């Protein structure tokens, strides 16, 4: 029988490195409750991972460094305000080692676009550093660290289609059948997530509205169980649409352009400004995409399938 040969790491001249792919997300439903005393809002949401990806490459190094290329690269900070940097530091601290790693981000997810690109990078950094450093942590351990980094980071680890409660960090899988065809319209400028939540609070207060406990409607869960894109299109909901379009009225034109091109449903993605459109099939998606390409409020259009797998090693 073959002798057991221990893994001695990279051969001379080889850089030890791993690459993790992480999906973007849309919220098929995003129900926002009252402002909590910790500055967050209670949410009931249905996360859906889609086939737009960031990749995180982690290579052995003496100190921590972050580099970046791709979609929106110039807006990505390369210091300790980057969520991937913080993820590496948090993991290193947790297992009691130095955070020596060079993280290289390849962005396919728009920056400040409401598709959780920064959270994807954090989840990717956790999985990549965990593999590179051989920490032996479980997925549950990583989930706990992910929740400390941001509300959307646990779902980026998880992927698929899942309910999110609490501030979004508590994840429960949802039964979803089939594949959905999505079109995404990226806007010219990003939107700040806290600014959109604040605008929601301001609009509610101005209208004398009392925020109620958040919840997800049965129609949406039924549509997912049935894998029925027509039902799903009619059931898409996002409480952040009103505040985001209040801050950025041009988003109404984007949503309308997709609707007129035959989308089964239109949706602001997360806190925006990315707009998401559900199409019946690949042909319908191409028609919606072509119409959006011509809209002046749109910077770029991408097509993707959902659901997609969560953060995983390539």
Active site residues: 25, 152
Contact present, 84 and 56 (Cβ < 8 Å): yes
If binding is defined by CB under 6 A, does position 208 make contact with ligand C5P? Answer: no
Nearer to ligand C5P, 94 or 170 (CB): 170
Task: Answer yes or no: are the C-beta atoms of 21 and 34 closer than 8 Å.
Answer: no
Comparison of 49 and 232: residue with beta carbon closer to ligand C5P: 49
C-alpha–C-alpha distance, residues 54 and 106, integer Å: 6
To the question of whether residue 120 is assigned a binding role by annotation, the answer is yes
Which among 35-43, 182-190, 214-222, 240-248 is the span making contact with ligand C5P, rule CB under 6 A? 35-43
Residue 208 is assigned to a ligand binding site: no
Minimum CB separation from ligand C5P for residue 271, in Å?
Answer: 7
Minimum CB separation from ligand C5P for residue 274, in Å?
16
Q: Is 151 in the site for ligand C5P (CB under 6 A)?
A: yes
* Contact flags string 155-194 toward ligand C5P, x per CB under 6 A: ------------xx------------------------xx
Whole-angstrom Cα distance, residue 98 to residue 78?
19
Which of these, 183, 150, 155, 167, lies nearest to 84 by C-alpha position?
A: 150
Least Å from the CB of residue 143 to ligand C5P: 15
Tokens linked to 22: 């992480």
- Residue 3, number of CB atoms within 10 A of its CB: 4
* Residue 114 marked as a ligand binder: yes
Residue 54 interacting with ligand C5P (CB under 6 A): no
Q: Is 113 annotated as a binding residue?
A: yes
Q: How far apart are alpha carbons 153 and 169 in whole angstroms?
A: 7
Using CB atoms within 10 Å of the CB of residue 23, give its burial: 0 to 12 exposed, 13 to 18 middle, 19+ buried.
Answer: buried
Contact present, 72 and 274 (Cβ < 8 Å): no
- Cβ proximity to ligand C5P: between 12 and 39 the closer is 39
Q: Which residue has the tokens 């086939």?
A: 51
CA atoms 233, 239, 242, 245: torsion sign: negative
Q: Is 121 in the site for ligand C5P (CB under 6 A)?
A: no
Interface with ligand C5P (CB under 6 A), residue total 12
Q: Can you tell me whether residue 297 is helix, strand or coil? A: coil
Q: Which residues lie across from 44 on neighbouring strands?
A: 31
Q: Is 40 in the site for ligand C5P (CB under 6 A)?
A: yes
Residue 285 CB, shortest distance to ligand C5P, in Å, is 29
When binding is defined by CB under 6 A, the residue of 155, 182, 197, 277 that contacts ligand C5P is 197
Confirm or deny that 116 is annotated as ligand binding.
yes
- Residue 27 is a binding residue for ligand C5P (CB under 6 A): no
Is 113 near ligand C5P (CB under 6 A)?
no
Q: Applying CB under 6 A, does 43 fall inside the site for ligand C5P?
A: yes
**Contact between residue 125 and residue 88 where contact means Cβ atoms under 8 Å apart:** yes
DSSP state of 78: -
Q: 134 burial class (0-12, 13-18, 19+ CB within 10 angstroms)?
A: exposed
Q: Which residues bind ligand C5P (CB under 6 A)?
A: 39-41, 43, 150-152, 167-168, 193-194, 197
Binding residues for ATP: 110-120
Binding residues: 110-120
């Amino acid at each position: 029988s073959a002798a057991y040969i221990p893994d001695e790491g990279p051969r001379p001249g080889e850089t030890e490195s791993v690459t993790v792919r992480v999906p973007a997300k849309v919220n098929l439903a995003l129900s926002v409750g009252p402002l909590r005393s910790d500055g967050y809002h209670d949410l009931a949401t249905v996360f859906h991972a889609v086939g737009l990806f960031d990749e995180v490459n982690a290579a052995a190094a003496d100190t921590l460094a972050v580099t970046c290329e791709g979609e929106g690269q110039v807006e990505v900070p390369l210091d300790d305000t980057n969520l991937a940097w913080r993820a590496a530091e948090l993991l290193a601290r947790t297992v009691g080692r130095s955070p020596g790693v060079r993280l290289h981000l390849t962005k396919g997810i728009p920056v400040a676009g409401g598709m959780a690109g920064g959270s994807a990078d954090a989840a990717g950094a956790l999985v990549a550093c965990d593999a590179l450093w051989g920490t032996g942590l479980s997925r549950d351990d990583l989930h706990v660290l992910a929740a400390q980094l941001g509300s959307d980071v646990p779902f980026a680890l998880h992927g698929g289609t899942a309910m999110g409660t609490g501030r979004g960090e508590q994840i429960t899988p949802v039964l979803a059948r089939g594949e959905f065809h999505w079109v995404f319209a990226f806007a010219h400028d990003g939107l700040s997530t806290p600014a959109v939540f604040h605008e929601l609070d301001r609009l509610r207060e101005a209208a004398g509205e009392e925020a109620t406990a958040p919840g997800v409607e049965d129609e949406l869960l039924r549509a997912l169980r049935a894998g029925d894109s027509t039902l799903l299109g009619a059931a898409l909901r996002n409480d952040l649409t009103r505040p985001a379009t209040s801050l950025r009225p041009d988003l109404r034109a984007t949503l309308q352009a997709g609707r007129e091109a035959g989308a089964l449903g239109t949706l602001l993605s997360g806190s925006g400004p990315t707009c998401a459109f559900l199409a019946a099939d690949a042909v319908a998606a191409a028609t919606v995409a072509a119409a959006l390409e011509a809209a002046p409020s749109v910077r770029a259009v991408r097509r993707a399938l959902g659901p997609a797998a969560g953060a995983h090693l390539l």
